[in-house]
Amino acid sequence: MILDERTYAIHPAHVREYLDIYAEEGMALQVSHLGHLVGWFTTDTGVVNEVVHVWRYENLGERERRRAALEADPQWQTFRRKTSGFVQSMRSRILRPTAFSPMQ
On whether residue 79 sits in a domain, the answer given is yes
On whether residue 101 sits in a domain, the answer given is no
Distance (Å, rounded) from C-alpha 49 to C-alpha 27?
Answer: 19
Total domains, the chain? 1
On whether residue 68 sits in a domain, the answer given is yes
Terminal CA-to-CA distance of the chain, rounded, Å? 6
On whether residue 87 sits in a domain, the answer given is yes
On whether residue 104 sits in a domain, the answer given is no
pTM metric for this prediction: 0.91
On whether residue 81 sits in a domain, the answer given is yes
pLDDT at position 55: 98
Tens digit of pLDDT at every position of the chain (104 positions):
999 999 999 999 999 999 999 999 999 999 999 999 999 999 999 989 999 999 999 999 999 999 999 999 999 999 999 999 999 999 999 999 999 999 87
Give the CATH number of the domain where residue 10 resides: 3.30.70.100
Give the domain range for residue 76.
Answer: 2-94
Side-chain-side CA neighbours of 27 within 13 Å: the count stands at 13
